[in-house]
Amino acid sequence: MLNVTGRGSITTCDGVTRRDFLQIGTLGALGFSMAKLAALQAAGAQAPGSKDKACILIFNLGAPSQLDCWDMKPDAPREIRGPFSPIDVKGGGFQISELFPLHAKIGDQFSLVRSVHHTAAAVHDTGHQMMQTGRLFTGGINTPHAGCAFEFLKGRTNELPAHVVLPEPMGPTGGNMPHGQDGGFLGKAYDPFALMADPSKPNFKVPDLLPPAEIGEARLQRRRELRDVIEGAIKNFEASPNADLMDANFEAAFRLMTSPTAREAFDLEKEPLKVRERYGMTRFGQCCLLARRLVERGVRFVTLNTFITVFNEITWDIHGSKPFTSIAGMKEIVAPMYDQGYSALIEDLRDRGMLDTTLVANLAEFGRTPKVNPAGGRDHWPQCWTVYFAGGGVKGGRVIGKSDDIGAYPAERPVEPKEIIATIFHSLGLDLDTHLPGPQGRPFPLVDFGTQAIKELF
């Protein structure tokens, strides 16, 4: 979250300084700054034909077991195959776990990639970096999240932020390294807007669209007066003698902070109860619904963290021993919540005519060990795992790549994390030969030289 304050002391005829203006609200938290707008304008951010492209990246923090979810091995020994049985998906293109019956009903809408792998350390943080930026952070260079790079290149389409993280950025996962969910070397101006709230809670509100709770009544009144002053100035912007002071940057910033469009987009009470219940009244389910609302209203990129941390809650991180859950533990809590939220999102996007232009990418940092451990769980395994895609030009009902007989290593079409990011960029219509302004102002390739999207998906 960013808090932006003005540097200048220029005062308008109404006695409002630029510093006062920027202190009215947490403008930086909404993903806007003067530097950002200037950079976007210089880069030709509002590229024709790009405004209808969007991505919802669901990051399954903790890492689902490929063997118990998406890449079943029913003929393997029990200590390999686990306790669950495979079921056919709609169209019969492949099988997935019985844990996901609602996924099976829409199996013709998404396609699996069963041969993802990396060779970095088997810790959550390294996988988070590579699977969200395409690179492992080395030499002090933090690569921007795919959504942050997309925002830099294409900008926003309206008053809403271009990139939103739901429900909040990743927390601790044991490695104490960056997770790759910020603007990296592009700077904090390109950090995403983070919701920082649980949309499944009663009376859910977005903190940064409201005055901070600690602000006293006197300051609130002053902010109201400042808002009245500046709203009046904006209405008469072109005619104002101080228009050169309240330039387009400040106008856009204030509109964003006070935007009814932004408040409406985040207002889940606008949705019928039946729709909310269809997604599930869980944090994940309501985040899926909120992601649909945001994309529908012009947000270009939404990153949805299924979980925030691997500690103090049941997640995909199924080591078996406490404080983690077991393989069987997925069946009771994680799988039903996830199955309901994801299937509702895909069906809703399809029914609203949005799926063709909205890529939904379901990623994770690694897979799980082929052999069940003594605690009844599986441990970290970056040598092979499964991700999947729907919408955004992806053809459903397909399987790309293949693992070996025990789901331990790619047997066909090995896929690296950088190819996953290239696939997202390809769906969004970006030229993979594009360069970003990197550290020390040097051109930095959007993806590594020669990296291609997984064309078999399209």
Beta carbons of 359 and 56 less than 8 angstroms apart? yes
pLDDT of residue 323: 85
Does pLDDT of 304 surpass 70? yes
Supply the pTM of this predicted model: 0.84
Cα radius of gyration (the chain)? 23
Does pLDDT of 299 surpass 60? yes
Cis geometry, peptide bond prior to residue 167 (ω within 30 degrees of 0) = yes
Is 54-206+266-457 a CATH 1.10.10.10 domain? no
Does pLDDT of 48 surpass 80? no
Q: How far apart are the first and last CA of the chain?
A: 36
Beta carbons of 242 and 13 less than 8 angstroms apart? yes
**Measured distance CA(76)–CA(394) in Å, rounded:** 31
**Measured distance CA(79)–CA(373) in Å, rounded:** 8
Q: Is 212 exposed, middle or buried (CB count within 10 Å of its CB: 0-12, 13-18, 19+)?
A: exposed
Does pLDDT of 44 surpass 50? no
pLDDT grade for 329, boundaries at 50, 70 and 90? confident
Query: Between these two residues, 300 and 249, which has the higher pLDDT value?
Result: 300
Among all chains, which residue has been given the structure tokens 């896929």?
Answer: 415
Report DSSP state, residue 346: H
Beta carbons of 130 and 117 less than 8 angstroms apart? no
- Give tens-digit pLDDT for 53-67: 999 999 999 999 999
As a whole number, mean pLDDT of residues 35-63 equals 64
The per-residue pLDDT of the chain, averaged, comes to 85
- For residue 15, give both structure tokens: 């006695």
Q: Is 274 helix (H, G, I), strand (E, B) or coil?
A: helix
pLDDT of residue 223: 61
Query: What percent of the chain lies above the pLDDT cut of 70?
Result: 78
pLDDT of residue 245: 38
As a whole number, mean pLDDT of residues 377-404 equals 98
pLDDT grade for 159, boundaries at 50, 70 and 90? confident
What are the extents of the domains in the chain? Answer: 54-206+266-457
Parallel, antiparallel or unpaired: strands 410-412 and 435-437: unpaired
